[in-house]
Structure 1
């Protein structure tokens, strides 16, 4: 049977590198991005290397577009691998949009693709090192809100639970990515019976256009890099290599976990505390 892979945010950066790593491991690759030119060019490039790549221009927060994507995957064959790299960072939007794209969009994609999950299906969702910073104390009201990102009143509930501080885009981003980590744990249980897996990765500071934009607005990121164990930024292909492993059969007993890929930022901070 034809095997199908899906990569979101596939037009550039870490998403594009994930797509490159899936070439040769699936027969058909559905590449998703909002940037039509970027994803079309990327699909044309990758289709010359043995896997047929299709560009799909859609917003991961739109149910109709996701429904069409799932229908196309089902039409083509068996869903084998999903790398969900699409997302936005603090300088790109307000708190509502950040939570909607980064967390609600993740939940919508997973919900839409869930009926396609079968033995050997694997999904990796991008969280962030940012989820490990800030207020990490147990907060039942926050956890309850994060547990149901598809609730109609999700934004109101998380705003009430966290307080006005969540209107800071950086704070919203941290909570959104923490929500992705929590979501993956619950999703692993939902799809495990079908023999399918899902994990998340939490990148540290990676040399991408989006990462550079954040660094320009947050000088503290340079200090984190300097204090990290490796003392450098990550490269997109390094994140993609971890994602490729998690999507492979070699990771067949890994599910419901988050993999921190930060070059030793947390280790460096711990050593200095």
Structure 2
């Protein structure tokens, strides 16, 4: 099946990262018109050029997801360029590894601002345009660490747990308004955000050891989950948690 997103406009945050870029490529291949956003403008231009060379209709816009004003600007650009928005994929996120006592106030505030507040701001700011679509989908990126504890990464885990429940309450709120809201929960995935850790620890990385498949996932293995939730095949799916983790949370 091809063209699963034909006629739809999708906005992706954190689009230059591993999962974001894989999602953008997958969506473009299925016919979506794209709004790709990130804070890294050089990487954003390179991604847009790559997508356009493959025939995609792309708007690239710098977006700091923690900024309400920046969100308003990007949504207005989307309205002017495409006149609609059908899919919002909140991927942008950062990680901080320390536990409770070693997490600094500044680090805590930054992680919450990007991962949690950024997701809320995206839904809040884009909702009128999504609702006007009449058949819209929001996909929020949580994590397996939004489902289970690890004993570390206190700020990251708190933010991803918040994204999980924020998704569910939004799903209930907008269930009769033509907007579905679901979360995706990746396990250990080889993205730039954790590549240094994977390079250092390799197969000895504790979460990989606990993963039944005994390996990290590839961003291209997360993108199809995003696609399913974005397209009309998931029309009766809202408030769900789609876990893509090689079995990590199965035991």
TM-score, structure 2 as length reference: 0.86
- Structure-1 residue corresponding to 2:135: 120
Q: Determine whether 1:209 maps to 2:192.
A: yes
Structure 1 range deviating more: 93-102 or 23-32: 23-32
Taking the aligned partners of 1:116 and 1:57, their CA distance within structure 2 comes to 19
SS at match of 1:19: helix
* Pairs aligned (count): 236
**Structure 1 CA distance for aligned equivalents of residues 32 and 153 of structure 2:** 39
Q: How does 1:90-169 map to 2 (within 5 A)?
A: 90-91=96-97, 94-117=107-130, 118-134=133-149
Q: Counterparts of 2:200 and 2:121 in 1: how far apart (Å)? A: 30
Computed over aligned residues only, the root mean square deviation of the Cα atoms, in angstroms, reads: 2.4
**CA 1:129–1:242 in 2, change beyond 3 Å: closer, same or farther?**
same
Whether the 8 Å CA contact 1:73–1:79 is kept in 2: the answer is: yes
**Whole-Å Cα distance in 2 between the matches of residues 110 and 219 of structure 1?**
36
Contact 2:170/2:181 (8 A) holds in 1: yes
Residue 232 to residue 219, structure 1, CA distance change in 2 (3 Å): closer
- Gaps of at least 5 residues in structure 1 are 136-167
Partners in 1 of 2:200 and 2:153 — Cα distance?
11
The correspondence for 2:162, drawn from 179, 185, 194, is 179
Superposed CA deviations along residues 219-239 of structure 1, whole A, max 9, x for unmatched, are: 897132123221111000000
SS at structure 2 position matched to 1:90? coil
Aligned to 1:23: 28
Normalised to the residue count of structure 1, the TM-score between the two structures is 0.80
Q: Secondary structure at the match of 1:174?
A: helix
Q: CA deviation at 1:172?
A: 1.3
**What is the match of residue 77 of structure 1?**
83
Which runs of no fewer than 5 residues in structure 2 stay unpaired?
Answer: 1-5, 99-105
